[in-house]
Structure 1
Amino acid sequence: MERVETDVIVVGAGPAGLMLAGELRLGGARVTVLERLAQPTGQSRGLGFTARAMEILDQRGLLPRFGPLEKSPLGHFGGVRFDYTVLPDAHFGARGVPQYKTEAVLEDWATQLGADLRRGWEVGALTDTGDGVEVVAAGPHGEQRLRASWLVGCDGGQSTVRRLAGFAFPGTPATREMYLADVVGGGIRPRFLGERNPRGMVMAAPLHDGVDRIIVCPQGTPVRERAETVGFAEVADAWERITGDSLAGRSAEWVSSFTDASRQAAEYRRGRVLLAGDAAHIHLPAGGQGLSTGVQDVANLGWKLAAVVQGWAPADLLDTYDSERRPVGARLLMNTRAQNLVFLGGEESDPLRGLFAELIAVDDVKRHLAGLVSGLDVVYDMGGDEAAAGPLYGRRLPPRDLAGQDGRTTTTRLLHSAQGVLLDLAADPEVRAAADGWKDRVLLTSAAPAEPGALGGARALLVRPDGYVAWSGQPADRGAEGLDAALRRWFGAPAAG
């Protein structure tokens, strides 16, 4: 039996697993990705990502690899449409990006960085030994035993890792089954925000020439056993029962089913095993939030796990992955369950839909819902007095143009290497001197926003590799007060000498 040693094993080569592999490689960790499928599915599935996920991809320089992207200002909540640009820098996200393209971009990036991707390997057993994790996986050439310091399950809603490692997965069970298909043949009338009647709800939108994405949500459809698969004939029958329109003469590139089950792992870490993406949370796919939340999970986890592997991280740094991301997952489940009631409820939900239509006419409500669905409202609790720390503390560094002695750059470009960034906005020698012991982990940049006041009036900002502000020097502060504690908290002890 072949034995493989690595720093981190990632199980699952979907968007979350591949993004995590790249993040770990940027942080200097050796990573092996095990994927059950021998080949990518080539299925469109998710068709884009939210504005916050776009920022995450952009901070690693990945957006140009997708080619031209269509950003839509309009989104919806529970099928009630509204304009997301009511928030500064906001939009609904990128549309029309099939999931297979996202996976191809992330796979190329991760493997170019040196990730070891092994397809056709299925995990059958894992053991947390206390000082590492041992995995037995079956693959094309027999069983393989792998050992790593850490293991991360990114293997989807039916996660094998979650089950083998004993994670509790509480929540609400599925009450109905729904279908989606990419139908070949064209001519299907678009129903962008859904069309409902007492028999159910359907959606339809053109994908490309002659192919339409349909979603079919019959009322009262029982949930099938996991081992059963859905065929196009079943989907076509359900479509005709609800709409009265026939799909005769058409075929499907692929079909799938989904449910309204809503569950979240009780913890995101058990010993040396962690969960991310759909392995950590499942929900109704409303607003393209699942893929996007998974990408944000691993952006938070990747640099922290790499830092632990490299040996410079504080011992408790990984605890902040659970404390920061699990509340975000809980809000994801809350908003998708609410959308389920508004979007898929029968006639009993008509008053709720009417109320939502009235509320979304209020700008404050639009801002709240746009921030909730896009992820732009995420604020991490980093301790301390947030009011005194400034408006950006615990929030993502916004995309802004900068000008300094080395020319023009952007806040996004500074994050491409996945290092921490100390942004000296006021040419303060005390700030620069305070960070000298961390220059192997933190990039020091002296620059100012091209637009005065664009970064909350701060004199300096300490930014984590995931783009979140961990310290903010305000105009009334004395020099670098508090900076040393923040550097030690997030980047370990200073280098000797």
Structure 2
Amino acid sequence: MSHSVVIAGGGPVGLMLACELGLLGVETLVLEQRAEPREDAPGIAINATVIELLAQRGIMDALRSDGIELPQARFALLWLDPSRVSEKHVYGFVIPHTQLARRLEERALELGVTIRRGQEIVGFGQDESGVVVQTRGESGTGTVQCRYLVGCDGTRSTVRRLAGIDFPGGETPFSGLAGDVTHEPGDEVTQWIGTRLSDDGILMAVPSAQGRIRVVTGEFGGSPADPDAPPTLDELRETVRRLTGVDWRPTGELCWLSRWDNATRQAERYRVGRVFLAGDAAHVHFPLGGQALATGIEDAVNLGWKLAADVHGWAPPGLLTTYESERHPVGARACLTTRAQVALMHPLEQIAPVRELLDELIRFPDVNEHLVRIQGNLDVRYPLGRDSSHPLLGRRPAHVPVTTPAGEGDVGGLLREGRGVVLDLSKGTFSLEGVAGWGDRVNVVTAEPTMEIPAAALLLRPDGFVAWADSTGADDAGLRSALRSWFGEPAIQH
């Protein structure tokens, strides 16, 4: 059996990539080692970038009833003020990552993606024409042929190991627990809602479902006696006692409990031939503010349209190479900024004066905005084009409102189809001569000018990043050049 793309891993990143490919008509297979959907994923929130990427594909609508908005942001657990940022973004949404994965799986299946559970990748071979993936499951072994293989299979990625890609970095002594508990009225766990930082570590409690609370603990400076031993409720209770001094006596039951650690690693490469890495298989770091998931989801959205372009035969030379050149620096940046935040949390007694000073600096608008953008993964800018002087070039603009002939909407809504978009804000003064040649892969949308978009026209890539921007309304040659650079040769020559 053959598919255009095989994805190893059915977590949020692998499923987001599957949705991107399915949206663009690419025959896609997801192989997930677990026989059943995961219940023990500790993640409980998504940040601004994830919200906007899901919104621009219409997926966020299905998630609204599954969680609650959290219009707040923190850096190293210090409060920031997103309302003072010049661009208006949404800044947080509380939702268990297990529920996010379920919604993404539903969408992937709607788009024709095939998902096989209980399938483990045990080997692969590749040549210039494709990849042969060897699998193992309850029914035995098998092979799948594909054009590309993408490892979204987590920190211990089998694909990364089989590809021979190093994963340098290290782990800091740390002991983390995360789990869901049910509770009755009066349970002390309900008094811990939120996040607290102490000399010994972190305690977080967040409602995860009706009658359930997600309890997350993290202790710096030590490791569990046996990291591979299944954690127990007694271990969680003892950890809470060390962090709070409270002898917690749960009124409900433990639904699940797992361990987490403080590792920072990044793959040396994101690609070997026809094999790619994304998400935790490519980078892992301390989970703060949703940055880990956001970095992985953006990997998926960056890679998806580029693989589709190659499968459909219109990718310009070197397009797939830009995945690593764009995303590897972003992964390195995420590792750096999360390490910096951890350094600002422990040892708390020594770092307290620095935290106090940083809290003062956050009152300055520029400092606040800079840290909000880091926390929300909104500071990503790719080196696109020769002229990077335009402030929008290489950035993903906010989903600002736009008025088009079809009615009121926003920039994110223009990307619903996963195609490129030429956004004409010039009131008819910009020449669109020749753009129709890319009509099979790029939409042209006219809209009323807006002060929130300082340009007469934009070219948006399918991932939402600006590949060309013109403030004068006269650079039609520049637009055609950018179209060739990112969308190949026109189907109709002029």
Equivalent residue letter for 2:476: A
Name the CA distance, whole Å, in 2 between partners of 1:232 and 1:130. 52
Q: Which whole-Å deviations, capped at 9, do the CAs of 1:231-256 have from their partners, x for residues lacking one?
A: 22222222223322223345321111
C-alpha contact (below 8 Å) 2:430/2:456 kept by paired residues? no
Name the CA distance, whole Å, in 1 between partners of 2:54 and 2:4. 24
Root mean square deviation of aligned Cα: 2.0
**Which position in structure 1 is the counterpart of 2:117?**
119
**Which position in structure 2 is the counterpart of 1:240?**
241
Q: Which whole-Å deviations, capped at 9, do the CAs of 1:451-483 have from their partners, x for residues lacking one?
A: x32211x221111111111111222x5340311
Name the CA distance, whole Å, in 1 between partners of 2:140 and 2:227. 26
Name the CA distance, whole Å, in 2 between partners of 1:72 and 1:242. 25
The offset of 1:225, in angstroms, is 6.2
Alignment of 1:77-88 (within 5 A): 77-87=75-85, 88=87
Equivalent residue letter for 1:411: V
2:194 aligned residue (189, 192, 195)? 192
Flag as ranges the 4+ runs of structure 1 deviating above 6 A: none
Unaligned stretches of 5+ residues in structure 2: none
**Which position in structure 1 is the counterpart of 2:165?**
167
Q: Is the counterpart of residue 467 in structure 1 residue 464 in structure 2? A: yes
Equivalent residue letter for 1:444: V
Alignment of 1:267-286 (within 5 A): 267-286=269-288
Unaligned stretches of 5+ residues in structure 1: none
- Residues 351 and 454 of structure 1: CA distance in aligned 2, closer, same or farther (over 3 Å): closer
SS of residue paired to 2:345: helix
SS of residue paired to 1:20: helix
- Residues 375 and 242 of structure 1: CA distance in aligned 2, closer, same or farther (over 3 Å): closer
- Residues 195 and 373 of structure 1: CA distance in aligned 2, closer, same or farther (over 3 Å): closer
Equivalent residue letter for 1:328: V
**Which position in structure 1 is the counterpart of 2:216?**
215
How many residues align? The count is 486
The offset of 1:358, in angstroms, is 2.2
Q: Greater CA deviation, 339-348 or 34-43?
A: 339-348
Q: Is the counterpart of residue 337 in structure 1 residue 335 in structure 2? A: no
**Which position in structure 2 is the counterpart of 1:110?**
108
The offset of 1:113, in angstroms, is 0.4
- Residues 183 and 344 of structure 1: CA distance in aligned 2, closer, same or farther (over 3 Å): farther
1:348 aligned residue (347, 350, 362)? 350
C-alpha contact (below 8 Å) 2:2/2:145 kept by paired residues? yes
The offset of 1:172, in angstroms, is 2.6
Equivalent residue letter for 2:480: D
Q: Is the counterpart of residue 491 in structure 1 residue 487 in structure 2? A: yes
2:328 aligned residue (308, 326, 329)? 326
The offset of 1:223, in angstroms, is 5.2
SS of residue paired to 1:454: coil
C-alpha contact (below 8 Å) 1:382/1:394 kept by paired residues? yes
Q: Greater CA deviation, 337-346 or 133-142?
A: 337-346
Equivalent residue letter for 1:203: M
Q: Is the counterpart of residue 38 in structure 1 residue 29 in structure 2? A: no
**Which position in structure 1 is the counterpart of 2:49?**
52
C-alpha contact (below 8 Å) 1:154/1:276 kept by paired residues? yes
Q: Which whole-Å deviations, capped at 9, do the CAs of 1:175-199 have from their partners, x for residues lacking one?
A: 22211222223322216231413x4
Q: Which whole-Å deviations, capped at 9, do the CAs of 1:391-426 have from their partners, x for residues lacking one?
A: 211111332333344444432221111011111222
Equivalent residue letter for 1:397: P
SS of residue paired to 1:312: coil
C-alpha contact (below 8 Å) 2:177/2:216 kept by paired residues? yes
SS of residue paired to 1:313: coil
- Residues 237 and 145 of structure 1: CA distance in aligned 2, closer, same or farther (over 3 Å): same
The offset of 1:229, in angstroms, is 2.9
**Which position in structure 2 is the counterpart of 1:425?**
425
Name the CA distance, whole Å, in 2 between partners of 1:423 and 1:29. 26
Alignment of 1:248-397 (within 5 A): 248-250=249-251, 251-387=253-389, 390-397=390-397
TM-score (norm 1): 0.93
**Which position in structure 2 is the counterpart of 1:98?**
96
C-alpha contact (below 8 Å) 1:23/1:299 kept by paired residues? yes
**Which position in structure 2 is the counterpart of 1:447?**
447
C-alpha contact (below 8 Å) 1:174/1:223 kept by paired residues? no
C-alpha contact (below 8 Å) 1:190/1:206 kept by paired residues? no
Q: Greater CA deviation, 393-402 or 149-158?
A: 393-402
The offset of 1:227, in angstroms, is 4.2
Q: Percent identity?
A: 39
